[in-house]
Amino acid sequence: MRSKQIATFYMPEQVDARNGEGLYTRSPNKPALLMQKLQAEGLTPYFDVKAFTPFQQEDFYLAHAQVYVDAFFAGEKPLATTNGLTWSENLVNSVCYTNASLYHAIRYAVQHPEVLTFSPTSGFHHAKPERGAGFCTFSGQVIASVKLYRELGISGAYLDLDHHFGNSIEDSRSFVPGLDKAIPTYANVNLSGTNDSYLVDLYRHLATLKKKILAKEIHYIVWCHGADSHVYDDLGGSVNTEYWLLAAELFYKWVLEVEQELGYHLPVAMSLFGGYRTNSYNSVLSLHTADLVMAANTLMEHSIAYEPVVEVNPYIKKEPFRMAIAAGETIIDYFE
């Protein structure tokens, strides 16, 4: 039986409070906004918030050119603002915490597989070895997984359901020795398609990962359910609300299925990744909350009632996608 609380690697220092107001720059503020949302929805009893040690400047040399890391820490332009964010000492401090949060969440899941873990973070998957990009400063996934491979000899997979391709892992392969072992080439999963074809793509990748887990080639999974894959996101748009939730349901039920065959708990860590809604940031937070509730209900045997509220985005002129899954049918029935 899984532990009844989600171990959550959150510290107020991981937020850059001064970066929360402008267009698309909410990501540095996202961890705090999400934690406030969980509190407002009365969900804090399900989360066990843990403190952790932040990274130091030297930790980032593992995945980045020293000239870039040093310029970012010193605030030297142009390199210090290649992430597309406003530079501040507070931002420098916050990325030492966000990147460490992901590492500690995964490490804790590996050491306590019966505990589901959560790193309320984003801002990693577009960074490159020599610069930042797309609101991302450092390659948190690369750093976390390569550290864990060097420390424990384990390999992991990322289900990156952010709408945008997670290039940081692929762009780092020739720069970081051991990365192909830490995150094998099939294990940086990004999806394509919309609604049904999107779920079929997820299902196909989960089938591959299940084989690799049973073969002991993959030892942990990181679930990154970016809210910008929702059709009403300012910068995204693959699936409507029903399918966004079906993707989560498919994943968490797959975890149960894998664990049944393994005979023990699969280490699972969760992160946030993207989500951009200038007219309704609450829609982003609401989707992430619904995902966490799905995790608690499916894997931890809770029965929390929570319906996400996703407001229509008047600037997105897409036709709403239609459901192919019949009412009353579950996603598992659909694929069987």
Binding mask 238-257 for Zn ion (x = CB under 5 A): --------------------
Cβ-based nearer residue to Zn ion, 208 or 279: 279
Shortest Å, Cβ 215 to Zn ion: 31
CA distances to 8, 135, 160, 209, 273 from 189, rounded to whole Å, are: 23, 20, 6, 10, 14
Q: Does 132 bind Zn ion (CB under 5 A)?
A: no
Using CB under 5 A as the binding rule, whether residue 228 contacts Zn ion is answered as yes
Q: How far is the CB of 228 from Zn ion (least distance, A)?
A: 4
Compare residues 162 and 291 and give the one whose CB is closer to Zn ion: 162
Smallest distance, Zn ion to C-beta of residue 82, A:
17
Structure tokens, 209:
């990962």
Q: One-letter amino acid identity for 104?
A: H
HEC string for 169-221: HHHHCCCCCCHHHHCCHHHEEECCCCHHHHHHHHHHHHHHHHHHHHCCCCCEE
What is the DSSP secondary-structure string of 70-97?
Answer: HHHHHT-TTGGGTTSS---HHHHHHHHH
Q: Which is nearer to Zn ion, 121 or 155 (CB)?
A: 121
If binding is defined by CB under 5 A, does position 291 make contact with Zn ion? no
Of 178 and 193, CB closest to Zn ion: 193
Q: Are 189 and 157 in contact (CB under 8 A)?
A: yes
Q: What is the rounded CA–CA span in Å between residue 88 and residue 104? A: 25
C-alpha 27/C-alpha 33 separation (Å) is: 10
From 47-55, 145-153, 205-213, 274-282, span contacting Zn ion (CB under 5 A): 274-282
Determine the residue with CB nearest Zn ion. 274
Within 152-181, the residues that bind Zn ion by CB under 5 A are: 162-164
CB–CB of 9/119 below 8 Å?
yes
Return the range that interacts with Zn ion (CB under 5 A); candidates 37-45, 67-75, 254-262, 266-274: 266-274
- The token pair that represents 207 in the structure block: 């089938």
Question: How many residues make contact with Zn ion (CB under 5 A)?
Answer: 5
The interface region with Zn ion, picked from 11-19, 100-108, 206-214, 270-278 by CB under 5 A, is 270-278
79-103 burial, b if ≥16 CB within 10 A, otherwise e?
bbbbbebebbeebbebbbbbbbbbb
Contact positions vs Zn ion (CB under 5 A)? 162-164, 228, 274
